[in-house]
Amino acid sequence: MTDETPSNEPVGARFREFRAGLDRPDGKRHRRPRGRGGDGGEQLTVPPADFASYYGRPVLKPPVWKYDIAGYLFTGGLAAGSALIGAGAQLTGRPGLRRVGRWTALGGVAASTYLLVHDLGRPARFHHMLRVAKVTSPMSVGTWILAAFGPLAGVAAVAELAPLLPQHGVLGLARRIAPPIGNVAGLAAAATAPALATYTGVLLADTAVPSWHDAYPSLPFVFAGSALAAASGVGLIAAPTAETAPLRRLALAAAAIELGGGHRLERQGLTSEPYTHGRSGRLVKAGRALLAVGAATALVSGRSRVLSAISGAALVASSIATRFGVFEAGRVSARDPKYTVVPQRERLAENRSTTRL
Amino acid sequence: MGVRSWFEGWPVYRQLTGTDPLGRGAAAKSDGSRSLTARTDTADSMARSVCPYCAVGCGQRVFVKDGQVSQIEGDPDSPISRGRLCPKGAASKSLVTSPLRQTTVRYRRPYGTEWEDLDLDTAMNMIADRVLAARDETWEDVDAEGRPLNRTLGFSSLGGATLDNEENYLIKKLFTATGALQIENQARI
Amino acid sequence: MIVIQGSNMAEAHPVGFQWVMEAKRRGAKVFHVDPRFTRTSALADAYLPIRAGTDIALLGGVIRYILDNELDFREYVVAYTNAATIVTEDYRDTEDLHGLFSGFNEENASYDQTSWQYNGDESNGAKHDTETQRETAAGLEHESHGAQVNGQTQRDETLQHPRCVYQILKRHYARYTPEMVERVCGIPQDRFLELAQAWAANSGRERTSMLVYSVGWTQHSVGVQYIRTGAIIQLLLGNMGRPGGGVMALRGHASIQGSTDVPTLFNLLPGYLPMPHHADHPTFDEWVESIRHPGQKGFWGNARAYGVNLLKAYWGDAATAENDYCYGYMPRMTGDHGTYQQVLNMIDGKIKGYFLLGQNPAVGSAHGRAQRLGMANLDWLVVRDLFMIESATFWHNAPEAETGEIVPERCRTEVFFLPAASHVEKEGTFTQTQRLLQWREKAVEPPGDARSELWFFYHLGRIIRERLAQSTRPRDRALLDLNWNYPTHGPNAEPSAEAVLYEINGYDVASGRPLSSYTEMKDDGSTAGGCWIYTGVYADGVNQAARRKPGAEQSLVALEWGWAWPSNRRILYNRASADPEGRPWSERKKYVWWDPDKGEWTGYDVPDFEKNKAPTYRPPPNTSGVAGIAGDDPFILQGDGKGWLYAPSGVLDGPLPTHYEPVESPVRNPLYRQQANPTRKVYTHPINTLNPSPPQEHSDVFPYVFTVSRLTEHHTAGAMSRNVSPLAELQPEMFVEVSPELAALRGLSHLGWAHLVTSRAAVEAKVLVTDRVTPLRVDGRIIHQVWLPYHFGFEGLVTGDSANDLFGITLDPNVLIQESKVGTCDVRPGRRPRGQDLLDLVVDYRRRSGNLVHRYPPMVTTDVADSSSDQEA
Amino acid sequence: MPHANALYGPLDPAPDAGYENPPPRMGFFTDTSVCIGCKACEVACKEWNGVPESGLDLLGMSYDNTGALTANSWRHVAFVEQPRSAGWATPAFEEQPDGPSVSPLTAAVGARTGTDTGTDPGLSPGSPAVAARMSGGPEFLGMPGAQPPGRGSGAEGRTDFRWLMMSDVCKHCTHAACLDVCPTGSLFRTEFGTVVVQEDICNGCGYCISACPYGVIDQRKDDGRAWKCTLCYDRLGVGMTPACAQACPTESIQYGELDELRERAAARVAKLHERGVPEARLYGHDPNDGVGGDGAFFLLLDEPEVYGLPPDPIVTTRDLPAMWKRAGLAAVTMAVATAIAFLGRRR
């Protein structure tokens, strides 16, 4: 420690290095952020946009929802689709498919409830959701839909246990009246199911998260399609192949709805970027591909158990990928100030030019 | 609480029957919000004080509830500060209620490696012993020419400038009577 | 206009700054001069970056600009200042002596002031032993009462006499040209002219300008002269004693003004009475006469009364005219007993015990290592504080514990930590920066063992007196006779602060009636009062400091809020707000004036003048004391009643402020051959190593200038902010601000580490590279400055190295305040070494700077002629 | 019946939220042109509201070590160093031997720093490339001033300099998305027109956090609930001034009736324009803007995004009817598709 003459390198070299480090796309020259904070490396692959910000930090708070909510998007959709399938099977006399539909609906809604409560900061206060009924809050609307759907789906599924009951006595009476009650409940659940499947599109869209909000025309269709795909997929895997013909048609319809309704995701300007780039983009693309594969396989699967199962698995996987992809895209868009600032700047410029006219 | 009043307290019921169908305000207001009030309003007492940080001398109001300081904020009556405070002044409640404040006497014996506890009275007597001993050991009656000195240079003191005038007065008075000269203050620094 | 220099008002006094903003809103221009761009600069209308330690050169330039262009407020200057007074024939200026004044004695590095005197007053100069004055910080005649001059002086009111102060001033500052300001301070000429022009243009009859400073001025080896320079400008422009004018000292602690008024300082007694000196004040009469200065004008003429009252307050019935009011009990100074001398004596083992009362010298005083090593060499130490501060834990947590210089098992110091009561847990008065006393009500009882200082000292005194009760030794009489009877109350037997305030105020001994003014003080022992300037704070038996009539219900002067000394006057010397005839200078700037009908002074404030003394009053020849003050002498505590442009005595380093370089400077003084203040107080002690400066060799080892100051978010040594979570998080780490240019030069990166090295210590800090710091072009060179906050230490929620460790100890000769606003250093990237390596690093720097054997900078450098200094040479 | 402008457009929010004869709408006007960056607002808020510590790390974002509004910082003072003219002042470093500005570079470093604010998502990291543009000054081009002392003066670079400071806070929007999406009614509109989280109700669903177009509301980690400025609802109730506004030394934060504040703000902007500060502009004052005007609005000296504010936020619920329509359509499509699938030819 005795030699403190500055090193022999040319004057300013250290500073130039410091500067060069900044310009490096990986920014690795700099100390890692302490404590929390992601790597943020992904944004840097996109050329820097010409806009100002406060230290490059996001304007918005990225959603605090954990993957619970992405999972819920899937399970809720699955439950809704399955309830519809159960009802369809009930009305068209497909008991095996009905059973699968009802049980999946119950399983889905149970998982959904768990995931939703688990995601709360104060899970013990989940019942505060029932304090108010607000049409302005998709989550409130969803809560009431779930509150209706869940018990109905539960009753419908439990009614399937009737054959296990003894034939006589009080339980025998239950064994006799359970099926009709289950049928009524199943139909009622199915009546609320489309709302359950599509309100989640509004749930995400009714935020300031740029990629979610801008996608509001598409998301309900994407989620409706995805719900049907997932439910069809489970049906194709689990139901007797003799009863799954409607599911093959339904898989095709699901693909049509999701791809048809969702194609605008990529065409909403800058905020489409997260749906096409990066991890979220890859997930969304994977969802699309799996959906196409699943639907096509379903079409040709006929009564093949194996093909049905493959098709079903692809459809379920598609739904999972799509949900997580959309979920992730929103988080990405909230983390980068450009998705907030640039579209708003463009809007302002547009307004200014129109007012000038 | 009966079922009926419970039901009427249910915000959904209030939404449906009241003036707030969207559940935005009146209907959504909770019991907690209804009973909310400023804690300065329910304080037991309020002392008029002065900020202990810089020398601007901003007025402070110190609110006390159950023997504890519950809030310190600017005194709007003060013509100096007009109720305003800087971050330090605004942090006065955290200062006086800080969990890091020491509230017991601590003692480190010579060559000790740990703090020890000590009774306040014992500490006072030990300090008095040491002051008197240092004074006696270093007492100077007269200088080389026989002029009076009447002093000790055996101990010294350095005070902060957040001491009150009355405190400074007693410090100077006692030390001067003790013959101690080396009394200094932040004002020198 | 408001000039803020040597102060970062918006950051250090934010709530006071509201009034600057208020003025700005009404159109006032704000100038800020500072080594770096601060939050004050951000709000100022103009910001001038300056090289730290060169303020006199800038202000001297302003003086020259005013005089050269005859922009002074001539009527004010002639009537109210000593501009017309004639000085002796023997006076020689720095112009003649390469930066020294006449009378310099190289032997003891101090001046014989005989030749500085007013013509005819030469004999006064010899009365002062200026070396003793420096040692006892008595240069300013105990900081308040005017130096001795005879009341009647020879004057030339045409200001043409070559030896009149006006002409001397003109000649003295002739070389402080805009070019020279640029060379010395690094301030471009047109920026300087912008300041000078605005200052002159915004002063006079209709307008006033205010000057604001803080410790950015005082903590220099020429600190007193900084303030004098500002005062000269304000006098020349007629800004003293007038609303919107003045020199505003922004003090930094809640009652630091009170700590000087009712001092806990070695050289002062309450009310700026001097602590007796063994040689100068062996008897009571000699002590009184040295304060009173027979022949001098003004209120110090009553010094005997002030002295008697103090002694009566101390020793009560025991103090009688026969025993000179127990004057004999007073301890006597023999020299410098100041805090830095104490610390060096601690290191040398001469001091046994130390009380720290809410003070943290391990972080807050210059040369932290010396402070800590001194404390580690005591027999006992009493620390009274709210928090466990660095000065209480040095024995195991100090940096010296890391280097092995302090080892707990070998450290003798016995430490008593006594928790203190906070400001809401006791009652009493603070005196704020405008001399205003404000009473604090007690809100709650202190927790646990926490007690007020009042409690501690009252009971310590009680115990000591009890121990000595049977003593017959003469030395114990002062304690036993002490008037120490204060009523106590409450569970902890807390003494009554109001009773102490009553004693400070003073009372009639027979009746106990509180005095209402110091003019009621008698010198016959019939009254007693602890601090004459505070008399009136308990007038009519009412605690005037506790008055709290809302500001909204009274005028802006707010005379009914608290109580200001003296006599509740809010602007000192406010007689100067009226013209010599007693009429306001202008309607806009009306403040205090003579009402001829009623025959009294009146106005918005309490007139700082005898109420019924007419403007036309002229004292008979050779009248001294209060009666000697003429009706147009506003400066009633000055020996000649005038504002002093020129100080014939009382300032040890010269009658006129002169630019000297800081003791540690990378630059040779461009103005004179004399490099630094020739009378500065130097401690030659092995621990007090100093960096070399020109004309010494090797000053390039420490090429950069560093300066330290406060942040809004922290308070001084940090105990009251680094232990408070909402403050600690706002500035959580020690950092150093550097310019991008220096960052490039030294390879520093933003938020990386750097360490600064001086011949005392190396401290590390995170780097903030910022445009707010700029290199300066000084005398053809680029000078880099860096800035650090001095709040950090090794205890608390947030910790860091202490900036004050970097400083050595060099003091202003007048007041013994250390130069801790500027020094030289090296700046290196990375963290500092630890343990023995740290010591090695510092030693190596010392070796390279040629200072291993403590070579001190020469006091006098006038014999060193070189091209870069002294334009005349 | 809900008001026609219940979701968008000018609205007096308190009557809309069911209050009959409410007091005047109260709010903040934060005039950043007089802010001295002292952070008294941050501290006074914490003291009154008992807000916990929000991290002890040096962020390197000028003097901003708070970083953002979070659940543990309800006031946040932003600091921006810019090599630009302050308008009213002479150029700070004119004729000094400076090189070009380092502001973009230091901002880039500051963008990556983090601290555990004790909240979620708290202070999110930023992007250095984007941060580098924040100063709005010239790009960094080299180091001409980087010469050793005494060797030449170098080219004069930056001369202008200004230091912007701005105390940010919850905007208390007329159309508050956080409030409208709250499924528990925890977030509610007070009679003063402000927006407040009721801590006895909030169950930490997090919806409000995604809904806020300003990135204000945030979740406290160990507690799970969402927190933000309440505009000191408890103080307002007894006629007191909010803690931050009361503390603010320079009246940068002004509290009062919103209508009156808007008038005051307009006058202040006019005055600044007169004094040669053309950049002065109001933000959030306009009842016709995307959120129906803010209850807490600002006077800024640069574009909003420089301070971390969105330039033209629109409340997400403006589009809610359209969203529900799309959802309904999708739901019907779904039901029909299922029906068709089952009613199709049996195989």
Angle between helices A169-205 and A305-335 (to 10 degrees): 40
The number of CA neighbours under 13 Å toward the Cβ of C804 is 29
Is the domain of B24 the same as that of B53? no
pLDDT tens for D208-241 read 999 999 999 999 999 999 999 999 999 999 999 9
Distance CA B113, CA C724 (A): 27
| Better pLDDT: D96 or A235 | A235
Is the domain of B79 the same as that of B116? no
Count of structural domains, chain B: 3
For the segment D13-40, the average pLDDT, to the nearest whole number, is: 97
List of residues 6+ apart from C867 with CB closer than 8 A:
none
C490: how many CB neighbours lie within 10 A of its CB? 11
Work out the pLDDT band at A35, boundaries 50, 70, 90: very low
Query: Coil, strand or helix: which one is D297?
Result: strand
Whether D63 and C731 lie within 8 Å, measured CB to CB? yes
On average, the pLDDT of chain D sits at: 91
| Better pLDDT: B5 or A8 | B5
Q: Are A91 and A111 in contact (CB under 8 A)?
A: no
Distance CA C138, CA C307 (A): 17
List of residues 6+ apart from A312 with CB closer than 8 A:
A232, A233, A234, A235, A236, A237, A238, A294, A298
Q: Which residues of chain C have pLDDT under 50?
A: 870, 872-873
Distance CA D153, CA D146 (A): 9
Specify if D5 maps to a domain.
no
Range in A24-38, D37-51, D56-70, D269-283 the model is least confident about: A24-38
The number of CA neighbours under 13 Å toward the Cβ of A351 is 10
- What does the block give as tokens for B45? 């007492």
DSSP-derived pairing of the beta strands C762-769 and B45-50: unpaired
Sequence-ordered strand ranges (E) for chain D:
26-31, 75-82, 119-120, 162-169, 187-189, 195-197, 218-220, 226-227, 253-257, 281-283, 296-300
List of residues 6+ apart from D8 with CB closer than 8 A:
D175, D292, D315, D317, D318
Is the domain of D186 the same as that of D321? no
Whether A92 and D342 lie within 8 Å, measured CB to CB? yes
Distance CA C666, CA C693 (A): 6
Specify if B140 maps to a domain.
yes
pLDDT at A45: 30
pLDDT tens for C135-189 read 887 776 555 555 566 667 899 999 999 999 999 999 999 999 999 999 999 999 9
pLDDT tens for B26-35 read 999 999 999 9
Domain span at residue B67 reads 45-96
The beta-carbon neighbor of D106 closest among C666, C769, C783 is C769
Min Cα distance C748 → chain A (Å) is: 7
The two counts, helices (H) then strands (E), for chain D are 10, 11
pLDDT at A355: 65
Specify if B106 maps to a domain.
no
- The torsion region of residue D118 among left (phi > 0), alpha (psi -120 to 50) and beta comes to left
Is the domain of D244 the same as that of D129? yes
A-C Cβ pairs (cutoff 8 Å, strict): 40
The beta-carbon neighbor of B11 closest among A132, A135, A136 is A132
Is the domain of B126 the same as that of B154? yes
Q: Are C787 and C773 in contact (CB under 8 A)?
A: yes
* CB interface of D with A, residues 39-98, below 8 Å: 55, 57, 61, 67-68, 78, 80
Specify if B105 maps to a domain.
no
Exposed, middle or buried: residue B132 (CB in 10 Å: 0-12, 13-18, 19+)? middle
Is the domain of B179 the same as that of B125? yes
pLDDT at D240: 97
Is the domain of D168 the same as that of D30? yes
> Which residues from chain A sit within 8 angstroms of residue D115, using beta carbons?
34-35
Q: Is A127 on the interface with B (CB under 8 A)?
A: no
- What does the block give as tokens for C82? 């000593």
Specify if D1 maps to a domain.
no
CA geometry: angle C357, C359, C363, nearest 5 deg: 155
Q: Which among C82, C2, C70, C94 has a CA at the least distance from the CA of C40?
A: C2
Exposed, middle or buried: residue B174 (CB in 10 Å: 0-12, 13-18, 19+)? buried
B64 bridge partner residues: B45, B69
Distance CA C535, CA C506 (A): 6
Asked if the peptide bond before residue C566 counts as cis, ω within 30 degrees of 0, the response is yes
Q: Report how far Cα A304 is from the mean position of its chain's Cα atoms.
A: 30
CA geometry: angle B43, D226, B37, nearest 5 deg: 20
Whether C461 and B85 lie within 8 Å, measured CB to CB? no
Specify if B152 maps to a domain.
yes
> Which residues from chain D sit within 8 angstroms of residue B70, using beta carbons?
none
For the segment A58-87, the average pLDDT, to the nearest whole number, is: 97
Is the domain of D344 the same as that of D251? no
DSSP state of D289: S
Complex-level ipTM beyond the 0.90 threshold: yes
Whether D248 and B84 lie within 8 Å, measured CB to CB? yes
Query: D78 φ, ψ to 5°?
Result: -90, 145
Asked if the peptide bond before residue D242 counts as cis, ω within 30 degrees of 0, the response is no
Is the domain of B129 the same as that of B174? yes
User: What's the Cα-to-Cα distance from C436 to each of B33, C242, C439, D271, rounded to whole Å?
Assistant: 43, 18, 10, 36
Is pLDDT of A1 > 50? no
Q: Which among A341, A227, A242, A221 has a CA at the least distance from the CA of A301?
A: A242
pLDDT tens for B48-91 read 999 999 999 999 999 999 999 999 999 999 999 999 999 999 99
Is pLDDT of D60 > 50? yes
Q: What percent of chain A has pLDDT over 70?
A: 85
> Which residues from chain C sit within 8 angstroms of residue D148, using beta carbons?
745, 782
Min Cα distance B33 → chain C (Å) is: 26
Specify if A117 maps to a domain.
yes
Q: Report how far Cα B184 is from the mean position of its chain's Cα atoms.
A: 23
Q: Is C430 on the interface with B (CB under 8 A)?
A: yes
Specify if B103 maps to a domain.
no
DSSP C99-158: T--TTEETTTTEE-GGGGSBTT-HHHHHT--HHHHHHTT-TTSTTTSPPP--SS--B-TT
* CB interface of C with A, residues 707-766, below 8 Å: 740, 743-752, 757
Query: Coil, strand or helix: which one is A339?
Result: helix
pLDDT at D137: 47
CATH number at residue A168: 1.20.1630.10
pLDDT at D152: 33
Specify if A222 maps to a domain.
yes
Specify if B104 maps to a domain.
no
**Chain D interface disruption, residue of C729, C784, C786, most D CBs within 10 A:** C729
Is the domain of B118 the same as that of B175? yes
Q: What percent of chain D has pLDDT over 70?
A: 93
Q: Are C482 and C326 in contact (CB under 8 A)?
A: no
Work out the pLDDT band at A50, boundaries 50, 70, 90: confident
Exposed, middle or buried: residue C364 (CB in 10 Å: 0-12, 13-18, 19+)? buried
Is the domain of D196 the same as that of D328? no
Count of structural domains, chain D: 2
Specify if D143 maps to a domain.
no
pLDDT tens for D140-159 read 333 333 223 333 334 457 88
Whether B12 and A133 lie within 8 Å, measured CB to CB? yes
Is pLDDT of A31 > 60? no
pLDDT tens for B128-181 read 999 999 999 999 999 999 999 999 999 999 999 999 999 999 999 999 999 999
> Which residues from chain D sit within 8 angstroms of residue B58, using beta carbons?
none
pLDDT at A118: 97
Specify if A55 maps to a domain.
no
Is pLDDT of A46 > 50? no
Domain span at residue A220 reads 67-344
Min Cα distance D203 → chain A (Å) is: 5
User: What's the Cα-to-Cα distance from C622 to each of C549, C790, D239, rounded to whole Å?
Assistant: 45, 53, 65
Is the domain of D101 the same as that of D234? yes
Count of structural domains, chain A: 1
Min Cα distance C56 → chain A (Å) is: 34
pLDDT at D344: 76
Domain span at residue D323 reads 317-347
B156 bridge partner residues: C354
Work out the pLDDT band at A43, boundaries 50, 70, 90: very low
Work out the pLDDT band at A294, boundaries 50, 70, 90: very high
pLDDT tens for A271-280 read 999 999 999 9
Closest Cα in chain C to A19: C749
